[in-house]
Structure 1
Amino acid sequence: MLPFELLLSNPLQFFRVEVALEDINDHSPVFPVERVTFDIPERSDPDSRFPLEVARDLDVGSNTVQAYSISSKNEYFTVSYGSRSNGDKYLELVLEKPLDREEQAEMGFHIIAVDGGSPPRSGTIEIYIVIRDVNDNAPIFTKERYVGKVLENMPEGSVVLTVLATDKDAGINGEISCQLSEVVGDSDSIFVIDYKTGEIKLTKPLDFEAAQSHELSVRARDGGGLSAICKVLVEVVDVNDNAPEVVVSSFSSPLPENTAPGTVVALFTVRDRDSGANGKISCGLEDQRFFSLRPAYKNYYELVTVSALDREETARYILRVTAADAGSPPLTSTQTFTVDISDVNDNAPVFNQTSYTMYVRENNVPTVFVGAVSTADADVGLNGKVSYSLAAVQAAEGPWCSCVSVNSENGHVFVLRPLDYERLRQTEVTVSASDAGSPPLRANVSVRLVVLDENDNAPLVLYPGQDSSPASSELVPVSAEAGYLITKVVAVDADSGQNSWLSYHLLRASEPGLFTVGVHSGEVRLRRPVTERDSVRQKLLVLVRDNGKPPLSATAAVSALLLKDLSDVRLPGHSSPAPEDQAGSLTTYLIIALVCVSLLFLVSTALFVARKVCKRKELKAGHVLYGADNLQSGLADGAAAGSLPRAYCYEISLTTGSGNSEFKFLKPILPSVPPQHCAVGQGPEDEQHFPCVPVSTEDTAPDNPGTLSAGHFNSLSFN
């Protein structure tokens, strides 16, 4: 019988197959020895039997030995063969009639053993007969069959058993010697017999797993040539000297980390060459958190997964299966399964920060490096290879994002073009990290790019205006005390931080000791009272400087007029005669109107109406009169301060009761001042100049001759 196992994969199936081998007659009968010599006394009785060792045939059934015969006709001997009650076969040479040494001292022939095969095979043994004088008692064993048991771990030279034979003859015919006949098929002799004592000993240790029993033949021969044969059966007792064996039939590694629980990882069988309890095997697995063993068929086991696997937690499992027998002491063997877990793209990249803030100075060089984003991906191989890109943005953000680029390999962030802090102070982009898995996993992070200011903008003076239009002068009364506010220089800087911190310094002045400038406020004040030695017209140059490195600056020119009263409003070099003597004409008309009020009522009314019409035309001409701080307090203070961010036009209308007004002195000397313009806008680039339109009073004073009426004046403009 030839047993074997058949293993099919995909799906995994197991079959036990046993093949019965049918014997064919491929072996001939073989005798243990080629020649046997018998010394037969001449007076042997008929029907004397001389035992022979039967022929051995490795075939079975009908193909084994079936019959024996003598090769040639022989009148003295015949062959007897058969089986005894215990199943042992025997072969005997039978003496048919007494021998006569005088007729024939020796003879020889062959015995043929024939098997039952088709065609039959045969084997022969040569029989040599020596006829001797009378020795009519052959040796006799005490037992026909000896059985002995020996442990397989017995050392070399150990006595297995002792056979004993006796002979009733005396002398040389009674001296017995034993010989051991080897079993057919054994190439190396395991046993040896002491020919005098009959002790059978081991020449080497036995192995139960190689042979569980050994059958021997022992021949006892006396001095007269008679012999006897006995059978010796040596049974080998098993000792637990073989550890269990684990034979792997199928093993799968690496194993994907998304393998479902219950998947068969390995199929193996366990076996033990020992028998009984020594060959009874049990298997165990050291760690059963993720894997377990389950019986499959007979002594087959399956190694299966019992829970989900995670390569990022454990990339390799070393599983030790221990097989132990039930011997005493038990023997064990261990089979190690190294299960590698292959990666599955189940982890998205993770940025090492929730958001990034990077800084770049304005006016940077193109493609300047500003920082880097980095990620960690728990996967490996392509699943852990991360590439970076800018994520899609809304249309409104597109123009700002075009200045930023990210390196796809290392996440380095670059600014592609120079930036201007005054146009763009910060922008935000989204960087996407994607692995190379299938399908890829990605993550996004927000990167805020902050532009750092550089001192690249000089201060811009808003007031006083520095354009090409005629500059106005600030009016300062000579009675002003130290600390009097003359004007205020107003400037701005487009930079930020300390680059926009402005300081004001008096760079140059007609009288350096007369004025002082507030370092932080830009206010121009008198340092000391005005003296007679001071020039009426003063010019100052104020330096406006920022706090950048290096600092940038601008200058502002300020003009001031030192006046005792409003009669000093004449500007040196700029006075011009009045176009007409309007004041004198108006006074004459008023006196005549007052004297002839009753007579010339209609004339005076007509003149009054005519004057009103003329006044309207003069208002359109925009004559401006500069006033000093002794005018109406609410108006004069604002004009004297000179710190307003933009120019304003102020109008003053005098009532009929103003005969005692302090403006009377202007009557003979009032100069004609060119029309001034008001600046409208917030900066030099936005300035537009419009004439200041005066608004005249409706009041007249026809009944108060000699009094200067509001109708005689145009508006007063204070810048």
Structure 2
Amino acid sequence: LAQDAALPPAQLSARRARLVSEHGRQHFRFDRASGRLVVADRLDREELCGQAATCTLPFELLLADPLQFFRVEVTLEDINDHSPIFPEERVTFKILERSDPGSRFPLDAALDLDIGSNSIQAYSIAPENEYFSVSYGSQITGKKSVGLVLEKPLDREEHAEMDFKVIAVDGGSPPRSGTTQVHIVVLDVNDNAPVFTQEEYTGKVLENMPRGSVVLSVLATDPDAGVNGDISYQFSQAVSQTDSAFEIDPRTGEIKLTKPLDFEAAETHELNVRATDGGGLSAICKVLVHVLDVNDNAPELVVSSFSSPLPENSAPGTVVALFTVRDRDAGANGKVSCALEDQLFFSLRPAYKNYYELVTVSALDREETAQHIVTVTAADAGSPPLTTTQTFTVDISDVNDNAPVFNQTSYTMYVHENNVPSVLVGALSAADADVGLNAKVTYSLSPVQAAGRPSCSCLSVNSENGQVFVLRALDYEQMRQSEVVVSASDAGSPPLRANVTVRL
């Protein structure tokens, strides 16, 4: 310092040379003996001058006798003794997944107290990725700015979150660096519609399952997040839904019965289910519900024709009734067989498909059995089987197949001679096993009389009740005995008759 001021070292002591600082703090010390300026304590350029491009420490060299001072300025040169430091150790960015490439997301710049080439020169990302780069440049104001630049569209469904480091490097030798951890949260955009795990679901339900029974559950997934990934289920209105027998849980997709199903009414129900996310995107799947038959229907027997009364002279094989059997159940539950309890006079004969004929198998006799109660039982092959019975009351109509029968093989009647004319001498009686006109008996004298027997025209027979009268007075000495043949005839067509001999 003495040399720069052109002062002999001897004057420095004689004139009491000393350093005077404007701020009172002295960073240097003046050695009067040698005239040298030496550092009084450790100098920190960043503490003294901050980020100023030039760091100058001014002070005065003051001498007395005579008073004289010199302006002294010491320029403090920077060394690379500070590493870059980011304001935050961890930074989080929330970015929409459909942000356009080239979008810039400002990042707080790192701070390096050094200047010039020792200050921050570059930023980089580690590890490098295809989605982001870092930009570092001057703004219009001249201030350096740092930001993340989106190079490629994000896809939350592929990467919901990303982590990497941003490194700031200065230009010192050797260089120093600082890092901050960057956490990227990709915000969802509703760019995915729900997707069902199956295009078509199939369920099977017994027709007697009670209300509230679970049929099946549908499931759709949506890779979006938040409300965009929240799925609700409902029956689609795109197809008319007449199946009020079903309800669906809007949150779980569980389909339940609201009432028992009926296999006989519908064997299959087709439903369309729509899954809708919170953003309004939706998908539709088909649900087929197959109703399994339960043996809940007894066979039905429908009579097409029935003949009653039936003439007793009907030939074996005569058709009495024609009927059909059916069962609304399916499989073994709908397979019907028929059986007949009385197989002595009647039998069942298959006609066509599920038609049966009730036919006679032997001769009928009204006089023996005037009415037959025939019971047909139709049973299905379910377990346990269900049965239906049909009763046919077959009345047998009369045919004139029985002649009158007298209650005696012959009759003998007596009369005193000299009798009163038209005197009653006896009565005949004949019965007919038939009914109606076929059993109505009338009596008459037969025109055919017994050969070789004495006959008399003196007798008369009441046609209604068979009473026998002697029409005139008889003489024992002239006729002691007489025989006539009396006929009993029914009113059938043709009539049947029987003869009996009446001896007087």
TM-score normalised by structure 2 residue count: 0.59
Please give the secondary structure, in 1, of the residue aligned with 2:76: strand
Give the corresponding residue for 2:220.
375
Contact in 1 for aligned 2:82/2:176 (Cα 8 Å): yes
Determine whether 1:209 maps to 2:22.
Answer: no
> Aligned partner of 1:371: which letter?
L
Match of 1:181 among 5, 19, 42: 19
For residues 551 and 179 of structure 1, do their structure 2 counterparts lie closer, same or farther at Cα, with a shift above 3 Å needed? Answer: farther
For residues 421 and 280 of structure 1, do their structure 2 counterparts lie closer, same or farther at Cα, with a shift above 3 Å needed? Answer: closer
Give the corresponding residue for 1:497.
331
Matches within 5 A, 1:261-660: 261-266=101-106, 268-269=108-109, 272-279=112-119, 281-286=121-126, 287-297=128-138, 299-393=144-238, 398=241, 400-437=242-279, 440-461=280-301, 491-502=325-336, 508=341, 543-555=377-389, 574-577=397-400
For residues 573 and 305 of structure 1, do their structure 2 counterparts lie closer, same or farther at Cα, with a shift above 3 Å needed? Answer: closer
Alpha-carbon separation, structure 1, partners of 2:294 and 2:302: 22
Contact in 1 for aligned 2:309/2:395 (Cα 8 Å): no
Please give the secondary structure, in 1, of the residue aligned with 2:45: coil
Identity of aligned residues (%): 27
Alpha-carbon separation, structure 1, partners of 2:192 and 2:67: 90
For residues 368 and 270 of structure 1, do their structure 2 counterparts lie closer, same or farther at Cα, with a shift above 3 Å needed? Answer: closer
Alpha-carbon separation, structure 1, partners of 2:205 and 2:309: 44
RMSD: 4.9
Determine whether 1:238 maps to 2:78.
Answer: yes
1:443 is displaced (CA, Å) by 1.0
Alpha-carbon separation, structure 2, partners of 1:231 and 1:494: 122
> Aligned partner of 2:118: which letter?
N
User: Which of 1 and 2 has greater Rg?
Assistant: 1
Contact in 2 for aligned 1:426/1:449 (Cα 8 Å): yes
State how many pairs are aligned.
Answer: 372
- Structure 1 unmatched runs, 5+: 1-140, 147-162, 168-173, 478-486, 525-529, 531-535, 560-570, 580-670, 673-719
1:324 is displaced (CA, Å) by 0.6
> Aligned partner of 1:257: which letter?
E
1:289 is displaced (CA, Å) by 1.4
1:305 is displaced (CA, Å) by 1.6
For residues 271 and 490 of structure 1, do their structure 2 counterparts lie closer, same or farther at Cα, with a shift above 3 Å needed? Answer: same
Alpha-carbon separation, structure 2, partners of 1:523 and 1:417: 35
Contact in 1 for aligned 2:306/2:322 (Cα 8 Å): no
Contact in 1 for aligned 2:305/2:322 (Cα 8 Å): no
More helix by share: 1
Contact in 1 for aligned 2:207/2:261 (Cα 8 Å): yes
TM-score normalised by structure 1 residue count: 0.43
Contact in 1 for aligned 2:309/2:397 (Cα 8 Å): no
Cα deviations by residue, 1:689-711 (Å, 9 ceiling, x for unpaired) = xxxxxxxxxxxxxxxxxxxxxxx
For residues 523 and 310 of structure 1, do their structure 2 counterparts lie closer, same or farther at Cα, with a shift above 3 Å needed? Answer: closer
Cα deviations by residue, 1:497-519 (Å, 9 ceiling, x for unpaired) = 2322446677x5578xxx9999x
Contact in 1 for aligned 2:325/2:355 (Cα 8 Å): no
For residues 265 and 280 of structure 1, do their structure 2 counterparts lie closer, same or farther at Cα, with a shift above 3 Å needed? Answer: closer
Match of 1:255 among 95, 102, 108: 95
Alpha-carbon separation, structure 1, partners of 2:395 and 2:375: 20
Alpha-carbon separation, structure 1, partners of 2:300 and 2:120: 103
For residues 195 and 468 of structure 1, do their structure 2 counterparts lie closer, same or farther at Cα, with a shift above 3 Å needed? Answer: farther
Cα deviations by residue, 1:278-315 (Å, 9 ceiling, x for unpaired) = 22511223334122233442633442222222222222
1:342 is displaced (CA, Å) by 2.1
For residues 176 and 302 of structure 1, do their structure 2 counterparts lie closer, same or farther at Cα, with a shift above 3 Å needed? Answer: same
For residues 330 and 336 of structure 1, do their structure 2 counterparts lie closer, same or farther at Cα, with a shift above 3 Å needed? Answer: same
Higher RCO (CA < 8 A, seq sep 6+)? 2
More strand by share: 2
Alpha-carbon separation, structure 2, partners of 1:349 and 1:179: 89
1:263 is displaced (CA, Å) by 1.7
Contact in 2 for aligned 1:488/1:522 (Cα 8 Å): no
Alpha-carbon separation, structure 2, partners of 1:186 and 1:546: 121
Cα deviations by residue, 1:217-257 (Å, 9 ceiling, x for unpaired) = 56789xxx999977776543422112235579xx9943222
Give the corresponding residue for 1:61.
none
